[in-house]
Structure 1
Amino acid sequence: MAATKRAPAGAAVLRGDITAAIRNAVMHELAEVGYGRLSIEAVARRAGVGKTAVYRRWSNKLEMVLEIVSGVAERSVPMPDTGSFESDLQLLTFIVSKALQHRIASQIIPDLMAEAARNPKIAETLNKALSKHQRAVGETIVGQAVARGELPAGTDPEMAVDLMLGPLYWRLAVLRTPIDDDYLEKLSASVTAALRAGSPAQ
């Protein structure tokens, strides 16, 4: 019978509950003080751990924030399939608008966008995470609408997603203007009409 493999003596065993506490602390610190003023010390204090627990997982603040934020940004959003593109779009915009209006996300997103203008690594990470989400929406919701014959066969998924979700980022993350269900309904109807009209002639 083979002997059970043991971790080398002195090897760090990273407890999942501590990692979760640190991740949660990072998100709250980002929301409260922003990336510029965020510190490893404050994160450790909020998480109820020593600084060494943080440094066992990430070597510096930037690495820590990029991994945690990209993990949140890349979480899959439920993709509606109601049988109607306009209904799918209305449900999707409702889900995304609620996420953007979350008390933590609404503070973190504008701050990280500003940091991205100064830090190429943050810009690259955000771009990668958001592009992945955009492709998923385009391939699924726009793709199934084209397959059902609701949108023209030549519909550009990337442009369609810009029209679908761009107004939400503009209103909620840039202007920071509240929106309601009536706005989402009108947005869905307007975007649907625009996409059904087809691409402009080349």
Structure 2
Amino acid sequence: MDFSPEDRAWFDSNPDIKFGSKELGFGGAGIVYELDNNPNLVIKVPKRFIPYTDTEKMQDIDTRTKLFRVLLLKEIETYNKLKKLKIIIPTRVVKLGVKTASGEDYLGLVRPKLKTSLSDLIKLSDEQLFEFRENLVELSEAGYEVAGWLQVGIDSLGKVQIYDIGDIKHCEDKKSAYSRNGNTWYTFLYCTEKVKYFFSDPSRTKTFFKLYKLY
């Protein structure tokens, strides 16, 4: 997937990447902020990152963020391998304008802002679900699994995309990828009340059996 034409034009204008005013959430490796100068985009930075100018304080931040910087680099590596897949959120790697004591650039990941709430995911249409399923099949065919909960959101075009690429792992074979992604997919359908929805009306049951299996 790629950024929208509007977002690509914004990047082409060489804007400053400004963030910090609105934190949207955090995970095991990073914190996500809405961009101050473009609310359609978000940025993920290493957990515990604070852009101090004081050298002594920055050395302390280097120590605190070391593990999270490594995890972010692994996420960038995974993204570069899978970025052509439809299910993977478009990502632009940017320098944060701060270096570690050893001279390495602090990096951030800029992405489209998605609708990620459970209430939004519950409203996914049958068409969106089937497209999402096909994209999971594509990921499985590539030999990768989502190691955990499907952390996904809906973009401005109604497409479902994985935003936590750090949870995607390479499998030893396609069969394992299909099996593990299949379990994760069923859990997603259950938690978003889709299992309940399809079985609440006998006319929808056949649709569910076409939907829930990846293979």
- The normalised TM-score by structure 2 is 0.29
More helix by share: 1
More strand by share: 2
- The normalised TM-score by structure 1 is 0.31
**Larger Rg, first or second structure (1 or 2):** 1
Structure number with greater CO (CA < 8 Å, separation at least 6) is 1
